[in-house]
Amino acid sequence: MSEKLFDLSGKIALVTGGTHGLGMAIATGLANAGAKIVINDIFPEKLENAKKEYASKGVDVTTYLFDVTDEKAVDEYIGKIEKEVGPVDILVNNAGIIKRTPLLEMEVDDFEQVLKIDVTGPFIMSKRVVKSMVDRKSGGKIINMCSMMSEVGRHSVGAYAAAKGGLKMLTKNMATEWAKYNIQVNGIGPGYFATAQTAPIREGGHPFNELIMTRTPANRWGDPDELQGTAIYLASKASDFVTGIVVYVDGGILATLGKTKLEQ
C-alpha cells in the first residue's frame, strides 16, 4: 500500500528549465517514480543536449522551446503538450535566474527581469496549466522552486530574494484559491546546491564557499539528486492534504546561526 502513495505512473510532469541543474535532478526523480517527463527551455541546443543526457539516465523526455514569461507562447505550448503528450498533472516551476548586484548598483531593468522570470513566470505557467486541470476536473500538483532567499537576505541578491520571497507568498495564495479543485500547491526551498547557478560563488576558492561550510550544519553543498525525495512527495498522493507550505532542503542552514571554525 505505502509504495502506491509515491507512485507517479500514468502522470505527466512538466519541469520548466529542466535542461540541467536542479530541474534535471527533479525531473529524473519524478521519472524514476513513474512520471512521463516534459521539459522546456529557451535555447534549442540546450534542449538537444539535455535530451541526450536524460537518455543516458534511461529517461525519455519530450522537449519544447518556449519562454515561461511569454503568456502567448505558454498558452500555445501548453496546448501543444496536451495534444502531443497529454494533460499536465504535475507542474514544477523550476525556471529561474539570479543577478548578483548590490541594490544601489542594480539597474531597474535588471531588477524587473529577475522578478519577471522568477515570480511572473510561475504565475503565467500555473494559471495556464491550472485552467486545464479545472476544466478536466482532474486535480493536480504545482511545485514552485523557492529558495533560502524566500526566508533570509544576503548581500547582492536583493532582487532574487524579493522574487523568491514573493514566490513563497504566491505559493500560499495559489494553495488558498486552488485547494477547492483538489490542486495542491507547495514550494521546495533548496539551501545551497552545486549547480551552474552557484558555480561562480562556489568554485575557484571563492570566500562564499567557506561561509557555506561554516553556516551549514551538514558542512557541505547539496547534491541536486537530494531534492528528488521531496519532489516525489509533493508530486504524489502522499501529499494530497498538504498545500501552501515550503519544504526547505538545506542541510540545516536555516535552523542555525552557524558555527566557528573551531566548532566545525
Q: Which residues bind ligand GCO (CB under 6 A)?
A: 98, 100, 147-149, 154, 157, 160, 190-192, 197-198, 201
Question: Based on CB atoms, which residue is closest to ligand GCO, 227 or 234?
Answer: 227
Half-sphere exposure at residue 23, Cβ-oriented, CA atoms within 13 angstroms: 28
Give yes or no for a contact between 243 and 143, defined as CB atoms under 8 angstroms apart.
Answer: no
The residue written with cell numbers 535530451 in the block is 51
Catalytic residue selected from 160, 192, 233, 248: 160
As measured in angstroms, the least distance from the Cβ of 70 to ligand NAP is: 8
Give yes or no for a contact between 38 and 91, defined as CB atoms under 8 angstroms apart.
Answer: no
As measured in angstroms, the least distance from the Cβ of 7 to ligand NAP is: 25
Q: How far apart are the first and last CA of the chain?
A: 42
77 noted as active-site residue: no
Which of 35, 38, 61, 117 lies at the binding interface for ligand NAP (CB under 6 A)?
117
Query: Which distant-in-sequence residues (6+ apart) come within 8 Å of 101 by Cβ?
Result: 110, 156, 159
Q: Does 187 bind ligand NAP (CB under 6 A)?
A: no
Q: Does 21 bind ligand NAP (CB under 6 A)?
A: yes
Q: Does 248 bind ligand NAP (CB under 6 A)?
A: no
16 is in the binding site of which of ligand GCO, ligand NAP, none (Cβ under 5 to 8 A by kind)?
ligand NAP
Q: Where are the beta strands (DSSP E) in the chain?
A: 12-16, 36-41, 61-65, 90-93, 140-145, 183-190, 246-249
As measured in angstroms, the least distance from the Cβ of 9 to ligand NAP is: 26
> Could you give the residue numbers annotated as active site?
160
